[in-house]
C-alpha cells in the first residue's frame, strides 16, 4: 500500500482519470515507477485518492494494471481501481456516486487517509479489533462490536487457511477485559469443538468432554426422542405409538404434582422417565397374549376349561424396535446420555453447566469437546444443547419483561454459539438423522437475535451448510477457499459490490481474509492477529517425523482405549 505521513513530501506525477464506471475508475499514468510515496511502489490492493473537489476525495483500491503502447512507442500505464467511498469534510462515506467528471487529480493515499477511514468509522465504546490491513500492518481495522456479535457470523476457509486461529483470536479478544486481561466479565461463549482443538486456546474455560458430559435423554423434545430411539426411516406407526404410550405412562407415574398437572404432561415435557421402563413396556407388547373369549375343550386334559390365549395385536411386530432399544441401552459409549448420571442430573444443573455457571466456578467460555461423542448421536447432542440455550434466552427475556412491563427489555447476558465444522451437523441435507439439529439451529438463525442468542458458523465446506442458516449471516470472514463449488457458494451470498476483492480468496496467505458485513465500514482484506494461546490444530510435520527413528507402538493400549 502507498502511504506516508502527511508531513512527508509527495511526488506529483501526470495521472488522470480517463473513464468512470459504476464500479470502476480507469486511470492513466505516464510514469508508474515514480507514481509512489517515499520508496514504496503501487501494487494491487494499494489505495488511491481521486480528488473531486476541495472537500470531497474519492478513495479507491487498485484492482489491476495494464500497459498501453502509443504509436510513438511511448508506454502508458492504465490502472483500474474499485471505488470504496468518499472522504468528505474529514469523514468517510460509502459509495462513489457523487464523483464529478473529470476529477482534478489522482494521488496515492497516505497512511493518515487510510487510518481515518477505519479509525473514525466506529466509536471507541463500540470498537472491536482483531486484525490489521493486509496491505499495511500499521493500520488497525476496527469493527463495530455490537453489529458484529448481535448479527450472525460466518468464518469460512480451506484447511490450512488459519480458520481455527481466527476463531481463537476473535473469542479471546471478545472475552478479554478492558485492560486486555482475561478477568471474568459478562461475555458468554459456547464453543462446539469437534476435533478437540480448543482446550489449549482457552485454558480457563469451562471444559466439557465425554468424560464429564452428562446429557439427560429425558430433556429431548418429541422430534429428538423419535430421531434417537426410533427407526424413523421405516415409518413404523406401531413403534411410534408404543414409544409414546410408554414415555407418557412412566412420566406420569413419576410425577409428584397435582392430578390436573399430571394430565398435561406430553412428549415434549422435560420430565424424567426411565428408558428401561420403556423397553419393558415394548417387550411386554411384543410378547403379549390376550384372552380370545374361548376355553380349551375337554380333549385337552392339561388345559381343559382354561381360557384360550391368542397373540396380541402387536405380538412380534416390535422386535426390531426392542432390539434397537436394547442396543442403545447396552452401548457403553452412550453412558453420558443414557447412564445413571443422566437420570440423576437436574434441569438446573444441566443449564448451569452449559451456560458457564458450573459448580466448579464461572467461566466466560464453555468448550464442548465433541470428539469423543459417537457420530450417530452428534446431531442429537448439538441439537439438545442448542435448543436449551435458545429456550433459555427466550424464557430469560420473558422473565425480565414481566418484572419491567413498561420498559424495553433485552437479554442482558447474551450468548454466542460457535459451531466449528458446522457442515458436520447442519449440512445441506434432508436426511432424517440431521433433522433435529437443523431445526434447532435454523430456529436460532431466524429468531435467536431477538433473545440474545447469536451464531458463529465456521466451516471449510460452506457449500455443504444449510443455506437457510448460512444466508442469515450478516458478517463474513472469508479466508482462502480452493474448492470452486465453495467459492461460488460464498460469492453468491456476499454483496455484489465487492468487485475483484472476492476473486482474491484463492490466493490468500495463511491468516489473511476478506472481512465484509454490517460491522465494518467497507469490505477489506485483512490479516488476522495472532491469538494469545493457539489451538492444537497445527499441521503435523510429516517429513521431519518420517526421518526420525522407527517408533514402536503399544497396540494393546490402543485396543484397550478403543474398546472403551
Domain finish residue from 299, 333, 367: 333
Confidence of residue 40 (pLDDT cuts 50, 70, 90): low
Residue 83 and residue 311: Cα distance in Å, rounded?
80
In this prediction, residue 165 carries a pLDDT of: 93
Q: Are residues 197 and 261 in the same domain?
A: no
Query: For 130-134, 512-516, 540-544, which range has the lowest pLDDT when averaged over its residues?
Result: 540-544
Task: Please compute the mean of the pLDDT values over residues 467-493 and round it to a whole number.
Answer: 85
Residue 442 and residue 457: Cα distance in Å, rounded?
12
Question: Which residue reads 503399544 in cell numbers?
Answer: 554
Confidence of residue 1 (pLDDT cuts 50, 70, 90): very low
Question: Which residue reads 449440512 in cell numbers?
Answer: 427
Specify if 176 maps to a domain: yes
- 214 φ/ψ angles, rounded to the nearest 5 degrees: -125, 115
Specify if 403 maps to a domain: yes
Q: Are residues 392 and 319 in the same domain?
A: no
Q: What is the 3-state secondary structure (H, E, C) of 434-465?
A: HHHHHHHHHHHHHHHHHHCEEEEEEECCHHHE
Are 531 and 201 in contact by the 8 Å Cβ rule? The answer is yes
Residue 465 and residue 401: Cα distance in Å, rounded?
35
Q: Are residues 59 and 191 in the same domain?
A: no
Task: Please compute the mean of the pLDDT values over residues 222-243 and round it to a whole number.
Answer: 83
Q: What is the β-pairing status of strands 524-528 and 127-133? A: antiparallel
Measured on CA atoms in the order 336, 337, 338, 343, is the torsion positive or negative? positive
Using a cut of 0.75, tell me whether the model's pTM lies above it. yes
Residue 166, H or E segment = helix 163-175
Q: Work out the angle at residue 351's Cα, subtended by the Cα atoms of residues 346 and 352, and round it to the nearest 5 degrees.
A: 95
| CB neighbour class for 142 (10 Å; exposed up to 12, middle 13-18, buried from 19) | buried
| Total length of the chain | 564
- The overall average pLDDT reported for the chain is 83
Query: For 186-200, 293-307, 317-331, which range has the lowest pLDDT when averaged over its residues?
Result: 293-307
Q: Are residues 399 and 476 in the same domain?
A: yes
Q: Are residues 489 and 373 in the same domain?
A: yes
pLDDT higher at 505 or 53: 505
Judge if the upstream peptide bond of residue 102 is cis by omega within 30 degrees of 0: yes
The pLDDT tens digits for 548-561 are: 889 888 888 888 87
In this prediction, residue 3 carries a pLDDT of: 40
Q: Are residues 207 and 268 in the same domain?
A: no
* CATH number of residue 354's parent domain: 3.40.50.300
Number of domains comprising the chain = 3
In this prediction, residue 10 carries a pLDDT of: 46
First to last CA, the chain: 56
Are 148 and 139 in contact by the 8 Å Cβ rule? The answer is no
Are 59 and 113 in contact by the 8 Å Cβ rule? The answer is yes
Specify if 442 maps to a domain: yes
In this prediction, residue 486 carries a pLDDT of: 84
In this prediction, residue 559 carries a pLDDT of: 83
Q: Give every CB contact of residue 139 below 8 A, 6+ residues apart in sequence.
A: 1, 111, 114, 115, 118, 132, 133
Which range scores top for mean pLDDT: 49-58, 90-99, 169-178?
Answer: 169-178
Residue 47 and residue 25: Cα distance in Å, rounded?
12
Q: Are residues 189 and 235 in the same domain?
A: no
Specify if 562 maps to a domain: no
Which range scores top for mean pLDDT: 102-116, 156-170, 400-414?
Answer: 156-170
* CATH number of residue 20's parent domain: 2.40.30
Q: Are residues 295 and 228 in the same domain?
A: yes
In this prediction, residue 177 carries a pLDDT of: 63
Position 8 pLDDT exceeds 50: no
**Closest residue by Cα to residue 387 from 228, 219, 269, 227:** 219
Task: Please compute the mean of the pLDDT values over residues 490-514 and round it to a whole number.
Answer: 77
Owning domain of residue 398: 127-212+345-535
In this prediction, residue 171 carries a pLDDT of: 94
Residue 48 and residue 108: Cα distance in Å, rounded?
4
* Percent with pLDDT over 70 in the chain: 86
Are 279 and 329 in contact by the 8 Å Cβ rule? The answer is yes
Domain finish residue from 97, 119, 141: 119
Specify if 557 maps to a domain: no
Question: HSE-up of 527 (CA within 13 Å, CB side)?
Answer: 13
Q: Are residues 223 and 148 in the same domain?
A: no
Confidence of residue 360 (pLDDT cuts 50, 70, 90): low
Q: Are residues 364 and 499 in the same domain?
A: yes
Q: Are residues 250 and 157 in the same domain?
A: no
Q: Are residues 139 and 196 in the same domain?
A: yes
Confidence of residue 397 (pLDDT cuts 50, 70, 90): confident
Position 394 pLDDT exceeds 50: yes
Are 326 and 340 in contact by the 8 Å Cβ rule? The answer is no
Specify if 542 maps to a domain: no
Domain finish residue from 69, 95, 119: 119
Are 112 and 6 in contact by the 8 Å Cβ rule? The answer is yes
The pLDDT tens digits for 233-284 are: 666 788 889 999 999 999 999 888 888 888 889 888 888 999 999 999 999 9
Position 2 pLDDT exceeds 60: no
- 84 φ/ψ angles, rounded to the nearest 5 degrees: -100, -40
Position 132 pLDDT exceeds 80: yes
pLDDT higher at 64 or 323: 323
Amino acid at each position: 500500500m502507498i502511504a506516508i505521513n502527511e508531513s512527508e513530501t509527495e511526488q506529483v506525477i501526470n495521472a488522470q482519470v480517463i473513464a468512470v464506471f459504476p464500479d470502476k475508475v480507469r486511470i492513466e499514468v505516464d510514469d508508474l515507477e515514480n507514481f509512489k510515496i517515499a520508496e514504496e511502489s503501487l501494487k494491487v490492493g494499494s489505495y488511491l485518492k481521486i480528488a473531486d473537489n476541495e472537500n470531497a476525495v474519492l478513495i479507491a483500491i487498485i484492482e489491476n494494471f495494464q500497459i498501453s503502447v502509443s504509436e510513438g512507442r511511448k508506454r502508458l500505464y492504465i490502472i483500474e481501481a474499485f471505488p470504496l467511498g468518499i472522504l468528505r469534510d474529514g469523514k468517510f462515506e460509502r459509495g462513489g456516486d457523487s464523483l464529478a467528471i473529470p476529477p482534478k487529480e489522482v494521488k496515492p493515499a497516505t497512511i493518515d487517509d487510510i487510518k481515518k477511514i477505519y479509525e473514525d468509522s466506529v466509536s471507541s465504546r463500540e470498537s472491536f479489533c482483531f486484525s490489521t490491513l493486509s496491505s499495511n500492518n500499521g493500520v488497525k481495522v476496527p469493527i463495530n462490536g455490537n453489529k458484529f456479535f448481535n448479527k450472525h457470523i460466518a468464518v469460512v476457509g480451506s484447511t490450512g487457511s488459519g480458520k481455527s486461529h481466527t476463531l481463537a483470536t476473535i473469542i479471546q479478544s471478545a472475552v478479554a477485559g478492558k485492560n486486555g486481561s482475561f478477568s471474568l466479565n459478562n461475555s458468554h461463549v459456547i464453543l462446539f469443538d469437534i476435533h478437540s482443538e480448543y482446550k489449549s486456546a482457552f485454558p480457563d474455560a469451562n471444559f466439557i468432554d465425554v468424560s464429564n458430559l452428562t446429557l439427560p435423554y429425558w430433556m429431548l423434545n418429541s422430534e429428538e426422542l423419535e430421531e434417537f430411539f426410533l427407526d424413523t426411516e421405516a415409518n413404523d406407526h406401531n413403534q411410534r405409538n408404543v414409544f409414546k404410550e410408554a414415555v407418557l405412562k412412566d412420566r406420569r407415574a413419576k410425577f409428584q404434582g397435582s392430578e390436573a398437572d399430571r394430565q398435561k404432561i406430553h412428549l415434549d415435557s422435560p420430565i424424567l422417565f426411565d428408558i428401561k421402563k420403556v423397553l419393558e413396556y415394548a417387550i411386554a407388547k411384543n410378547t403379549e397374549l390376550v384372552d380370545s373369549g374361548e376355553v380349551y375343550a375337554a380333549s385337552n386334559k392339561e388345559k381343559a376349561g382354561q381360557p384360550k390365549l391368542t397373540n396380541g395385536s402387536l405380538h412380534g411386530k416390535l422386535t426390531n424396535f426392542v432390539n434397537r432399544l436394547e442396543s442403545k441401552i447396552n452401548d457403553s459409549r452412550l453412558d453420558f446420555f443414557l447412564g445413571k448420571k443422566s437420570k440423576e442430573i437436574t434441569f438446573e444443573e444441566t443449564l448451569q453447566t452449559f451456560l458457564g455457571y458450573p459448580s466448579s466456578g464461572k467461566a466466560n467460555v464453555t468448550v464442548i469437546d465433541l470428539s469423543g461423542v459417537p457420530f450417530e448421536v452428534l446431531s442429537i447432542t448439538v441439537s439438545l444443547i442448542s435448543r436449551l440455550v435458545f429456550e433459555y434466552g427466550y424464557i430469560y427475556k420473558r422473565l425480565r419483561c414481566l418484572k419491567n412491563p413498561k420498559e424495553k427489555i433485552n437479554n442482558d447476558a447474551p450468548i454466542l454459539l460457535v459451531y466449528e465444522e458446522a457442515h458436520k451437523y447442519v449440512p445441506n441435507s434432508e436426511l432424517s438423522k440431521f433433522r433435529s439439529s437443523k431445526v434447532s439451529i435454523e430456529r436460532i438463525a431466524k429468531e435467536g437475535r431477538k433473545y440474545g442468542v447469536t451464531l458463529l458458523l465456521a466451516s471449510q465446506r460452506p457449500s455443504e451448510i444449510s443455506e437457510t442458516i448460512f444466508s442469515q449471516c450478516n458478517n463474513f470472514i472469508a479466508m482462502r477457499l480452493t474448492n470452486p463449488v465453495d467459492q461460488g457458494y460464498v460469492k453468491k451470498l456476499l454483496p455484489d459490490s465487492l468487485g475483484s476483492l472476492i476473486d482474491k480468496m484463492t490466493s490468500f496467505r495463511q491468516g489473511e481474509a476478506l472481512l465484509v458485513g454490517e460491522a465494518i465500514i467497507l469490505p477489506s482484506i485483512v490479516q488476522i492477529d495472532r491469538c494469545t494461546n493457539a489451538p492444537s490444530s497445527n499441521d503435523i510435520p510429516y517429513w521431519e517425523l518420517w526421518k526420525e527413528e522407527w517408533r514402536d507402538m503399544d497396540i494393546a493400549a490402543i485396543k484397550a482405549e478403543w474398546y472403551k
